[in-house]
Structures are given as C-alpha cells and as structure tokens.
Structure 1
Amino acid sequence: MAAARDLRATETAADGGDDAIELAKRHLIQPWPYAGSVGAEARALIGEGDGIYITDNTGKRLIDGPAGMWCVNIGHRREELAEVMYDQAMALSYNTPWYTMNAPSAELAMRIAGHAPGDLSHVFYTTGGSSAVETALRFMQFYNNVRGRPEKKLILSRGGAYHGSTYLSASLNGRPRDRDWMDGADDLVVKLSSPDPFRRPAGMSLAVFTDFLVDQFRGTVARVGADKIGAFVGEPVQASGGVVVPPDGYLKRIREICRENDILYVSDEVVTAFGRLGHVFASGDVFGIDPDMITFAKGVTSGYFPLGGVIISERLLEELRRSNHPDAMFGHGLTYTSHPVGCAVALRNLDILEESVLAHTREVAPYFQAQLKTLEELPLVGEVRGMGLMGCVECVADRESKDPLQLDKDVGKRIDAHCHELGLLVRPLINMCVMSPPLIITREQIDDMVGILREGISRTMDDLRKEGVWRG
C-alpha cells in the first residue's frame, strides 16, 4: 500500500505539474503578491516531502531549508501523524465549540500548560499564528473593558517585528515593505526600535545598546502613559524580521517594566515554540521570562494541520471571575477553535518532540550555528546570526556601512535560485537568507545544507560582479 501511494504521488508530481502551474496562473491568488502579477503567477511546485527533503515537479530533491514556514519540525511524511489524523477523523471529524467540546482539546490544553512558564494554565485554540495574536489582543481589550479601563488599549510593538496577516496582528508588523500599501489600526499601535544588535549605531557597545532599548521602552511608557497601554507584544527572537536575537537580559528588563506598569506581556512564540530553540516554549526555558500570554502555532502540529492558540495566565482569568461584570462576554471564537483532528495531531506531535526531538535539537543546534557562521568568510556576507535551529545570513554591499545592497534588493532571491538548482530551498528576505530546517536534521545534512548555501552565495557574488553592481 505504501509503495502504491508513493508511486501515485510521484506520477502526480511528474504528470500533473504543468497542469497545476497553468491552473495556478489562471485561478490561484498567491500570498503576498505584487499588483503587477496578482492572480497570474505560479511558484515552485512541490510534489512530495520525506524527512528533511521535498521534491519539486521536475523531480529535483531539495533540502527543506525553511521547514515549510518554520513549521515542519518533526519532518515530512511521518506516518504516525497521518494515522492519528485518519483515526480521529473517523472517530470525530468536527464538533462545534460553541456548545460542545472534544477530549483531545482538553488533554492537549493540559499538556501545553504543563510546559508553559509561570501561571500560564489555560489555552484558547485558533487556526494559526495570525489568529492567535489577534485573539491575545482581543482578550487584552476585553480584560481591560471588564476591569473598567476602556482607555487602556494601546499596543507596543517593535521595528522588524512580524506578528501576522489579520488586521490587528498585521498592524503590529515592523518589517520593511509589509505596510507600504496596506492599512492598519495605526491609532492602536506604538512602535519601538528593533532590538537588532547588528544594526545598532556605529561605535555603540552592546551594553549601551541594551540600555538604550530599555530606556526607550521606559520613556515611551512615561510619555504615552501606562494607563493607556494595554500590552506589549514581542517575539523572543524576531523570526521573519531576520532572526534577530535580542541582547542578553533585554527581555527580562522589558518584562519587569511591563509588570511595574500593569502592561500585559504577550510573548509571540508562533515560531520559537515547540522545539525550534530546543524547548516546547522558549520564554521561560531559554529567556527566563514568565509572560502574561504566549501565542503559538506552526510547530504545534509540525505543519500537518492548521492549529494555533493562546496560553493565558491564571491570574488574568481569576481577575475576570472576581469582577463586577460576571455576565460580560468575551465575544470571540472561530468555527475551527479546538478542532478535534488538529488537537489529536498536536498530541502525537508533542509525544514525538518529548521522546527525542527536543533533546536532538539541543544537541545539534551548536553545530548548526557554528557551520552557518563559517559563511561570514564570504565578502558578501555581513553577519550570520541565530539561535537553536533558526539562522539568518545577512548580505551587505559593504561591511563598514552595512549597506543592504540598495542596487539589488532581491539578492536573497538570487541566492535562493542558485541554491534551488543545487538542491536546497532557502527562504529569501530581501538581502537575507533565513534557514530553519526540520528539527530532525543530522550533522551530515547540516554540512550539505551549508555547503550548498556557500556555493549559492558564491555564484551570486560572481553574478553581481559581472553585472557591475557590486565590487566586493
């Protein structure tokens, strides 16, 4: 049966690839399209996956460098997860969360709470990361309304941040070009500087930069007013902003300011949770903080089923239960909240992470970081940074000025194209290449990945020199 399934998948990829590409150009709107090609483009067609590898429609086998989108943590084609999906769907495929519940969602909430820091003990499920952040923000608004503080609604976010694509979550984003043509709830958001040590002012020490960030945060609270600010939302590591790892101690100091000013600290762990940094949650185990809420998604099912959620502090719920408005309703929910199939998959995925994958990630992560770091030998590379099994190679035209190649903003795409030809899928972000492979990757596979990336960057340097846009 397995052999027949594999043969059918191969035939579909080979025979149906051209048809799928044409159908996409005629009928499919891709995420994040440009106006000039919206609804009329096709992207790399992937036919199948196995372990850390994917195969495109031409039959080329590629290392899945981004693990899908930071999410295929235990790798492709895990039969255990497919079986759980089938079994749960045959038992109960769906139930309405408005007036019924299912057992997998309750068990998963208990398991998740057991890994969460502090008193985070209750889970609200969503369909993904954007809806998880949206839920956390709506909960903050509800919480302050019930407590009689309707003016305490502003949200602090940072440059370089990425928190989602729904209206409120996208309003927090601080990456270049994300909001150039898109509207947002700008009246609700106050932006702070990115905690990116690579881009700190020339001559500024890391310690002084950290103090600057903390002083800016404290000063913003004083200027805007703590009575107006409802939440701070921050990724422990800014993922889609270029794998920005904050300075040591920075998050702890921000957490304390939030606590002092009754500002809810929302740790956005959509990327970093469920193993990416070697732990189920990075907030407590890696950074030593106990947020008021943690958002998660992606790795909770290793991408096999859309699921996300928010873990909420017992303290916040107890304050609501003690309020003078016991009939106040949190008017928020999703059709697929607490989906039984998604929760069943997440339970088995968590089993696999706990059994071996988390320990394996902690064991290979230093090697992954060290091998990536060797790419700084290349003159086009300004910095390699990362943590756990997430890393970023940032290319610059000049290391002194840190010019991000203004003449060629698509240098990341150039590198990705060369790497694709060589057997590696890269996630290009303007002048950066982001790598976040499946957590099951081995040292030998890390060597293969970094070797291909080195050659892809080298070929890109040759192209830029020939075109006269770079002389490095």
Structure 2
Amino acid sequence: MELVAENAPKTETGTTAPASIPQADARHVLHPWADLSSLGTQDALVISTAKGVRVRDSEGKSYLDAIGGMWCMTLGYGREELAEAMADQARKMAYYTPFGDVSSEPAARLAEKLASLSPGDLNRVHFTTCGSTAVESAIRIAHYHFAAQGQPERRHVLSRINAYHGGTYLTQSLSGKSADRTLFHYEAGFVHHLSSPGYDPDRSNLSAEEKLQELLSEMEAEIKRIGPDKIACFIAEPIMASGGVLTPPEGYQKATCDLCHKYGILYISDEVVTGFGRLGHFFASEVRFGLEPDMVITAKGLSSGYQPLGAVLVSDRIASALAKNAPADKPVFSNGFTYSGHPVACAVALANIEIMEREDICGHVRDVGPYFIEKLRELRGEDIVYTVRGDHLMACVECWTGEEIGPTAANMALAQRVDSYCQEAGLLVRPYENLCILSPPLIIERADIDRIVAILADALNRAEADLKAGKL
C-alpha cells in the first residue's frame, strides 16, 4: 500500500504521488502523548536505522541515543542474536493461543528463568504485553486474592504523586503525574495518592531520616484513614522513572514494604524501568533495597525492546491462595491477553537474558553507572541547572531560570531549548516538563558517557545565553 499525502499532487500518469514519510506521519499517525495543538503539522523525527548506541534518521544524520529508545533498548540496537532468536521462533511457530491449559516452550522456559532470577518466592509468572498491562494485571490479582477469601471490600490501592505506571485506564489512574492528566476520565473511588517520595539532599531542608519519617507517618495515617481492612495493595517504583528519576531517602523502600505487611497489604514493586540491569541487577528490589515484594512487574528491558512483552511475578503464597480459594462454580482466572506469553517475544527475552549473563551486562552497569552519575553531577555548576539526580544508568538534569522551581512555562521552555541544542549536536535526551531525562543503553562505554555530558554542557551554555539575551 502506497503512502499518499492529503491533497498530494498528481503524477504525469494521473495517479497520486506517494507522500514522504514525514508527510504520511503528520497526516495519519496519532502518537502517544502527542501535542494535539500541532496535530497534522508536526515534523516528526523519523528514525530509519540503528546500531549499538546510535540511531540514524531518514536524512542520514546520526544521534547518540541517551534515552535507550524509551528506557528499554538495553543491549543496544542491531543485536544479531536477538534478531535470529526472533526469526527462528517465528519459523518454528509464530503464535498459538496462551489461554487455559495451552502453552509454548519459550513461555514455559522464560517463566522458569524469571523465577530463578527473582527475589524471594516469586515463582509464578503471568505474562502480558507490556508494563501497563502487567501493572493492571497485578492490581486485578490483588483484588481477586482478597475477594476469593471473602474480603471484596479490600479493593483500595495506594500509589504516589509523580508515579508512572502505564497508559491504560486503571494504570493512568494509578499514575500521579499531573501533566499527564488531561480530559480523560480517571478512577478516583479506590485509588489514593501519597506524597512523592523524591528526596534530593542537595536541595532539601530535611535530613534523609526526617524525610523518611515524614513519608512513613503520612502513609500510616492514610492507611488508618481508609481502613487497613479495605486496602488491597501499594504499588511503587523503587526509583520513580518517568516522574523525574526521583530517589526516595535511604530505607524508604523496605520501610514501606514492612508497613504494608504490618497491615496485611500487598506490596507490588514496579520494576519496569529499574529491573533488567538499569541499576546493575536483574531485579533491584531485594539486592539494592532489601525488600521482598508480593509481586514484581517487569517489561521494557525484559526483551531489550526487541519485542513487546511484560510480566507479573507472583509469590507462591498468593498463587496458592488464588488456587485454594477460587470459587468452585467459577474457578477461572479471567485475566489475560491474546499475546500473553507470545512465543516469539519469549524466545527473544530468553536470548536477551542469555546475552546479559554471558556478557555480564549487570556488572558492566555497576562499573560505568557511578561514573555516569559522577560526570553528570559536574553540570550542577551551570546556572540553569537546578539539580542533577540519578542512580546508575537512569538520570535527570532539572532546568530552571533561577526564579521559580518546577515545571513552570519558563522552565519548560528552557528545557526544550536544551533538548533542541542536544538534538542539533547529535544527542537524543528525553524532554519532560523542565527535565532532561537520560537512560542510555546498558552497553554504553565511558567515551560515550563523556560525549553525552560534553554535548549537554554545551547545550546548557547555549540555552543560558538565549535566556540572558531574552530569546526565551
């Protein structure tokens, strides 16, 4: 099928001339998180090819990809082993239904492998298509878990301001980023948001211990206000990713997990971003933060972005309770998706894990991650940098004009200008509000880290000059 632009000119033969890719995109594609004010006129950056940590646009310009696609391109672009795993499984068996008692070899083997990598007794795996559907499934599992035990009133869910948990109706309701709340409808009856746990010792007037106690006191007060016998679960990213790479005070993750278990509330750790190597481990919950969740969410790096895939890792305790307490007249677990445990996606994920283990990708991240944060923190001396925060290969540079902090119109315009200068120099960062978010592929080396920081420094200087000259 040829791409045809609206009001496209006729060729000499009288047929309509195919549109260019940007024209076709502008005319026909409604992008996720699109700016509707420019719908139909947007000039999309069309990425055509990619290799390693670099991508190339349709005009042939090369960029260092400092956002890893979208947190997910962990092993880098153009990995032949992943492409071959995809092709081999597609030739062998591209798809069959995962419903009921039907499975595939890749799904069974991947579930077994994930159980071996996960913390605690998370030995049961429910496959989904992405992080959003995995989070939604985890909440439904929590609801079913309590309802099957005669506690259907335990349906309330605790989340947090600045959290991001996905793009479905329920997961958008769980998310607490005010910028993402527009004219859609959101669940407010059983979803509750605690304060953002982000703690920046460079900017806070509180000590880490004071901040921790403040957050825990608020959480316990909210539990008592709602009623612990009415709360099903608490869902939390160990480090808030899309919300601005927000790191809680030390001890927060374990302390909130302990508080949940004190009141019989399930703890769901959303490791869509922090898992699969970004913090230097397959899963960060236990080894980095000392907690054993009741469920863990994974996606993105699970397949290194080569295939859409997500999963909920469920504790044996919960899985056993589901089976034991399922209604005798209707014992069906009625949650899942056409492409749950897709054999091609699972085959890629298995190959991805094999490469990560063979090449010690997690060890590499533990080596270069601190260097990445150290070099970025050198940018704190720039006048338009409010702060720099991060952990291993997830980081954020927060911009400000020197007046109000946060996502004001002036601060956001400044960050957009920084992003524009970075792109001009061949670096892709992720602009969000007044933030420049970075999450490069896990295979990145020190030389490219140095290049990221050098380009960012120059972009910050140029944007500051524009600010002083009244061009913003």
Scaled to the shorter chain, the TM-score interval is over 0.9
Cα drift, residue 39 of structure 1: 5.0
Cα drift, residue 204 of structure 1: 2.3
1:118 alignment partner AA:
G
Say if 1:195 and 1:213, in contact at 8 Å, map to a contact too.
yes
The whole-number CA distance in structure 2 between the counterparts of 1:61 and 1:40 is 24
Alignment of 1:36-185 (within 5 A): 36-38=37-39, 40-99=41-100, 100-185=102-187
Q: Does 2:471 match 1:448? A: no
Cα drift, residue 396 of structure 1: 2.0
Q: Deviations for 1:236-285, whole angstroms, at most 9, x for unmatched residues?
A: 01000010111100111100110011111010011111111111111111
2:10 is matched with which residue? none
Q: For 2:213, what is the secondary structure of its paired residue? A: helix
1:336 is matched with which residue? 339
Alignment of 1:398-409 (within 5 A): 398=402, 402=405, 404-409=407-412
Alignment of 1:55-454 (within 5 A): 55-99=56-100, 100-198=102-200, 203-323=205-325, 325-326=327-328, 327-356=330-359, 357-398=361-402, 402=405, 404-454=407-457
The whole-number CA distance in structure 2 between the counterparts of 1:437 and 1:373 is 16
1:81 alignment partner AA:
L
Q: For 2:386, what is the secondary structure of its paired residue? A: strand
Q: For 1:281, what is the secondary structure of its paired residue? A: coil
Say if 2:245 and 2:394, in contact at 8 Å, map to a contact too.
yes
The whole-number CA distance in structure 2 between the counterparts of 1:464 and 1:328 is 63
The whole-number CA distance in structure 1 between the counterparts of 2:468 and 2:242 is 28
Q: Deviations for 1:271-326, whole angstroms, at most 9, x for unmatched residues?
A: 11111111111111111111000011000110000000100010011122222624
The whole-number CA distance in structure 1 between the counterparts of 2:23 and 2:201 is 42
Q: For 1:407, what is the secondary structure of its paired residue? A: helix
The whole-number CA distance in structure 2 between the counterparts of 1:63 and 1:398 is 29
The whole-number CA distance in structure 2 between the counterparts of 1:97 and 1:322 is 22
- Name the CA shift for 1:199/1:334 in 2 (closer, same or farther; >3 Å): farther
Q: For 1:120, what is the secondary structure of its paired residue? A: coil
Q: Deviations for 1:215-253, whole angstroms, at most 9, x for unmatched residues?
A: 000110011100111110100010000101111001111
1:70 alignment partner AA:
W
The whole-number CA distance in structure 2 between the counterparts of 1:367 and 1:81 is 28
Cα drift, residue 333 of structure 1: 1.2
- CA RMSD in angstroms, aligned pairs only: 1.8
The whole-number CA distance in structure 2 between the counterparts of 1:324 and 1:178 is 37
Q: Deviations for 1:28-59, whole angstroms, at most 9, x for unmatched residues?
A: 11111233233553421101110000011221
Q: Deviations for 1:401-450, whole angstroms, at most 9, x for unmatched residues?
A: 63555424232221111001111001001111001000000011100111
Cα drift, residue 192 of structure 1: 0.4
Say if 2:415 and 2:434, in contact at 8 Å, map to a contact too.
yes
Q: TM-score, normalised by structure 1?
A: 0.93
Cα drift, residue 60 of structure 1: 1.2
- Name the CA shift for 1:111/1:332 in 2 (closer, same or farther; >3 Å): same
The whole-number CA distance in structure 1 between the counterparts of 2:303 and 2:471 is 46
Task: Count how many residue pairs are aligned between Structure 1 and Structure 2.
Answer: 453
Say if 1:30 and 1:38, in contact at 8 Å, map to a contact too.
no
| Structure 2: gaps of 5 or more residues | 1-16
Say if 1:164 and 1:170, in contact at 8 Å, map to a contact too.
yes
The whole-number CA distance in structure 1 between the counterparts of 2:83 and 2:199 is 42
Q: Deviations for 1:179-225, whole angstroms, at most 9, x for unmatched residues?
A: 13221111121110001113999632221111000000011001110
Q: For 1:222, what is the secondary structure of its paired residue? A: helix
Say if 1:30 and 1:39, in contact at 8 Å, map to a contact too.
no
1:251 alignment partner AA:
Q
Alignment of 1:10-25 (within 5 A): 19-25=20-26
Identity among equivalent positions (%) equals: 42
Q: For 2:70, what is the secondary structure of its paired residue? A: helix
Say if 2:401 and 2:411, in contact at 8 Å, map to a contact too.
no
Q: For 1:467, what is the secondary structure of its paired residue? A: coil
